[in-house]
Structure 1
Amino acid sequence: MTTIDTHVDDKTFTKYESEVRSYCRNWPAIFDTAQGAWLTDVDGNKYLDFFAGAGALNYGHNDPDLKEALLRHLVRDGITHGLDMSTVAKGEFLQTFHDRILAPRNLDYKVQFPGPTGTNAVESALKLARKVTGRESIVSFTNAFHGMTLGSLSVTGNATKRAGAGVPLVHSTPMPFDDYFDGAVEDFGWFTRVLDDHGSGLNRPAAVIVETIQGEGGVNVARAEWLSALAELCQSREILLIVDDVQMGCGRTGEFFSFEIADIKPDIVTLSKSISGYGLPMALTLLKPEHDVWNPGEHNGTFRGNNPAFVTATTALNKYWSDDLLTRDVHRKGAIISETFAGLSEKYEGVTHRGRGMVQGLVFDEPELAGKVCALAYEDRLLAETSGPSDEVVKLLPPLTIDEDDLQRGLDILSKAVAAVATERTPEVAE
């Protein structure tokens, strides 16, 4: 009998895993367990998590109530894989999502389960918009990120990610995101003009897809009035409005949906990442009933019925969204982060900040400094990533449920790293 060596070290990954891996290159620890806002590696070292699975762990790692519900489901042999068959777990999620999320916000959406990931939700939204309108073109925005499959890449702005497609990415038109020209150009002036000018050469789009805050694009925050004007423009021109809330939904900005601040009702909304509450794969495409023109099976996916994810999602909705306590807590903690970042921006030249709720970015005029800050933070066992077209932004996505002492601890580590990098660059920086 052949003996199998189950020892795992860094050579296991370099030998067997594809070169496409990324996060582990900056965080080479081998992680083993996690709870709340902390991860523990195989040597027992603890790391504070200001990354939260790229926003997939809004309620932290292994929330005990969600874990208990999941274990009960598994122990009783509850359905695991269900495609789009009717199951108790899916029915309970649908009813709870309506009662806890949609009804209190006066939102009337049908729920589609397009597959397990955010890009599945985006792909289905684009296909549906084209089917509803009979048009092909989609308008997206500068610095947008919507996923890594071909349709999602076609409305993504990052040149490196687009280049990975290997084929032309067509049927999309980029427009400037809010404040792209630093206030020098009137919002939507050019967009409105080319829509109404029969000589512009612009095909009337099926839809506009937008993130209210561009996380991967550098924590670019759209103003509420800009979002409202966009919604009004789309409605007046019979263009569908798709809001991609994959990373910014599920409470990241405070409210469950990030677009609530603008008092708009998009035609289609995409959700994923934290909708399962536990890091389990799950995605939703929400569509107004009049747009539900799908034929049975016209868009599907083998893993669209992840019942364990339905179970944890239902538990998360009941635990965190039966009142406004989490929303108020996110606003309060977001203000703490913003205040810290404002202090750093005031103290060090070439540093600014932006964000909303518990997605915040520290922006460096010299892009390479952001990576240095994250590297120093990792040495002090804090996980934080960079974002933006030149990786010039230190982006924070801590769990929404993080203890305030842990939040402050992480901010202190980050402040120390910024001080070290800024002092190295500019020795004469004032105390």
Structure 2
Amino acid sequence: MKVIENRPSSLQVFEELESEVRSYCRSFPALFAKANGYQLWDVEGKQYIDFFAGAGALNYGHNNMRMKEKLIQYLINDGITHSLDMATKAKEMFLQRFHEVILKPRGMNYKVMFPGPTGTNSVESALKLARKVTGRETVMSFTNAFHGMTIGSLSVSGNKFKRKGAGIPLQNSVTMPFDRYFGDEIDTVSFIERFLEDNGSGVSLPAAIILETVQGEGGLHAASFHWLKRIRDICDRWKILLIVDDIQVGCGRTGTFFSFEPSGIQPDIICLSKSIGGYGLPMALTLIRPEIDIWEPGEHNGTFRGNNLSFVTATEALRYWETDAFSKEIKDKGEKIRHFLHDLVQNHPELEGEVRGRGLIQGIACGVEGMAENICAAAFERGLIIETSGPENEVVKLLPPLIIDEAGLTKGFEILDESIKKCKTSSTE
């Protein structure tokens, strides 16, 4: 994201006391004080439309009233907050509801693991389990992938800047081209198959293949459903475990609860975090096919894997998925976003734009260097919180809460259009 230099004096304490590693407060230089639904307000009372949604952790909006009421009542009643992985009523209710509302209707049979509170915890547990199950070390990942900031997750991520931050060699992984990485003419699945078939390729048989169906941080590249099916076939043929990282694009972001549902595949392991907790509280799940759940008790653990406050809000969030109505709403909003973005690309050829993504994670990849960053910075000045994506920050990424209404979308669209016009004018001056 582009760093906006004119920061208000109210941010001085952060510059003086907080680490230089901070990033989003540089891109969005305001002192935020209040949030509700798809809107935020800073200390000066300025209102912002949220097309960022906590990087996908706030699918149900800020301070969702239904979840807030459940959370407040739980605290008033002295409900258990911290419990490691002990049995609690809050966990029991979540597990039962997740099975009844999400897994059972979809014919999915998975054990639920609580690996720790963040997405990278889920990915690390998935990688560790895949290696334990297969006895192999290598994990295959893809170009432009992003799976987290801890060492194992970085080893299967593609971003050069983030990988460099590890400070050590990132090993036991191999990177392959994602769907359409070389364009429409080259079949990347056949490319992968050739490496696995050839004993002279230098690529050992992997324990797992890990992928995102839509590469959220990597530039909104969306895999075709046919490509996903063929990757599943590769895994079946060579007895490789398939891990789907649904941390950002799951929990309804693409329209269905799991992003891979339209493809018809079922992964061996599924990673969930961000919006699985519903309210923005830390929570992560690793879903595991029962036959590969071969953990020894305590073999993978963590102090905060039992966040009962998240169990409470996550259970309430599942009410959105009791029928197909919410999914239909998301798909309809996704179509509106797609039409709007295509119109923008057509009306502003100077962007050299390409529409990418699926559902309520879409954006425009700009062919002009720095354009996406400038557009997002201009949008923030006008009251729209929106970030970039991609290895060169080349994508303007729309990630609004799933509950956003027509008025919120329309207002956001207007600001984005104005911001593009502003950047167009500036570039010609």
Instruction: Please give the TM-score of this superposition, normalised by the length of structure 2.
Output: 0.96
Q: 1-side partners of 2:237 and 2:67: how far apart?
A: 43
Partner of residue 93, structure 2 = 92
- The aligned residue for residue 399 of structure 1 is 401
| Matched residue SS, 1:395 | strand
User: Which residue is equivalent to 2:347?
Assistant: 347
Q: Matches of 1:102 and 1:52 in 2, distance apart?
A: 25
- Counterpart CA distance in 1 for 2:261 and 2:127 is 22
Partner of 1:196: 197
* Distance in 2 (alpha carbons) for counterparts of 1:13 and 1:426: 36
Amino acid at match of 2:247: V
Matched, 1:108 2:81: no
Q: By how many angstroms is 1:45 displaced? A: 1.1
Residue 168 of structure 2 aligns to a residue whose secondary structure is coil
Say if 1:143 and 1:214, in contact at 8 Å, map to a contact too. Answer: yes
Q: Which amino acid aligns with 1:328?
A: K
Q: CA deviation at 1:361?
A: 1.0
Of 417, 420, 423, 1:418 maps to: 420
Deviation, structure 1 residue 426? 5.4
- 2:41 corresponding residue in structure 1: 40
Q: Deviations over 1:191-211 (max 9, x none)?
A: 111211122221110000000
In the alignment, the residues of structure 2 paired with residue 257 and residue 101 of structure 1 have an alpha-carbon distance, to the nearest angstrom, of 9
Letter in structure 2 aligned against 1:226: W
Q: Deviation digits for residues 39-67 of structure 1, max 9, x if unmatched? A: 11111111111000000000000000000
Which residue of 2 is the match for residue 336 of structure 1? 336
Deviation digits for residues 119-146 of structure 1, max 9, x if unmatched?
0000000000000000000000000000
2-structure distance, mates of 1:351, 1:184: 21
Could you list the per-position Cα deviations for residues 322-375 of structure 1 after superposition, in whole angstroms to 9, with x for gaps in the alignment? 101111011111111111100011122212211111001111001300011001
The answer to whether the 8 A contact 1:38-1:46 is kept is: yes
Q: Secondary structure at the match of 2:393?
A: coil
Residue aligning to 1:16: 17
Task: In structure 2, give the amino acid aligned to 1:418.
Answer: I
- 2:53 partner letter: A
Deviates further, 292-301 or 190-199 = 190-199
Could you tell me which amino acid in structure 2 is paired with residue 322 of structure 1?
Answer: E
| Over 3 Å off, 4+ runs | 423-427
The one-letter amino acid of 2:171's match is: V
Matched residue SS, 1:360:
strand
Q: Do residues 153 (structure 1) and 158 (structure 2) align?
A: no
Mapping 1:8-407, distance limit 5 Å = 9-318=10-319, 320-349=320-349, 350-407=352-409
Query: Aligned partners of 1:336, 1:203: CA distance in 2, in Å?
Result: 45
Question: Contact 1:367 / 1:393 at 8 angstroms: preserved in 2?
Answer: no
Is the contact made by 2:180 and 2:187 (CA closer than 8 Å) also made in structure 1?
no
SS at match of 1:188: helix
Mapped partners of 2:286, 2:369: distance in 1:
35
Which residue does the alignment assign to 1:4? Answer: none
Structure 1 position 188, deviation (Å): 1.5
Amino acid at match of 2:315: T
Superposition deviation, residue 184 in structure 1: 2.7
Question: Does the 8 A contact of 1:114 with 1:120 survive in 2?
Answer: yes
In 2, Cα distance between equivalents of 1:191 and 1:334: 32
Q: Quick check: 2:189–2:227 contact (8 Å CA) kept in 1?
A: no
Could you tell me which runs of 5 or more consecutive residues in structure 1 were left unpaired when the two chains were aligned.
Answer: 1-7
Contact 1:138–1:208 (Cα < 8 Å) also in 2: yes
Paired residue secondary structure (1:243): strand
8 A contact 1:240–1:267 mirrored in 2? yes
CA distance in 2, matches of 1:205, 1:56: 31
1:3 aligns with: none
State the Cα deviation string for residues 274-329 of structure 1 (Å, max 9, x = none): 001000000000000001000000001100000000000000102x0110111101
AA at the equivalent of 1:327: S
Count of residue pairs brought into register by the alignment? 419
Distance 2:245 2:345 in 1: 30
Whole-angstrom CA distance in 2 between matches of 1:374 and 1:387: 11
Cα distance in 1 for residues equivalent to 2:382 and 2:58 = 22
Q: Report the Cα distance in structure 2 between the residues aligned to 1:31 and 1:425, rounded to whole angstroms.
A: 31
The one-letter code of the counterpart of 1:89 is A
